[in-house]
Amino acid sequence: MPAEIPAPAVAAAWIALNLSPTNDLPLWAAHWLAEGEDGEHLRHLAGLSRTEPREIHDVQQSALADCHTPIPTAADAAKVAFTHLARLLLNGHLSERALLNDLHTIIVRTNYSDSVVKLPLAQAWMLDEEWDQGWGRPEEQIKEAVHAACQAQLDHTSRANPT
Per-residue pLDDT tens digits for 66-75: 999 999 999 9
Find the length of the chain. 163
Residue numbers of the chain with a pLDDT score lower than 70: 1-3, 162-163
Q: What is the pLDDT of residue 3?
A: 67
> What does the pLDDT read at residue 136?
81
pLDDT reported for residue 1: 38
Q: What is the pTM of this model?
A: 0.90
Helix runs in 96-138, H state only: 96-109, 114-117, 127-133
The pLDDT value recorded for residue 38 is: 97
Secondary structure (3-state) at 145: helix
Please, are residues 87 and 62 in contact by the beta-carbon 8 Å criterion?
Answer: no
pLDDT at residue 162 in the model? 62
CA distance 76 to 60: 19
| Contact by Cβ (8 Å): 121, 153 | yes
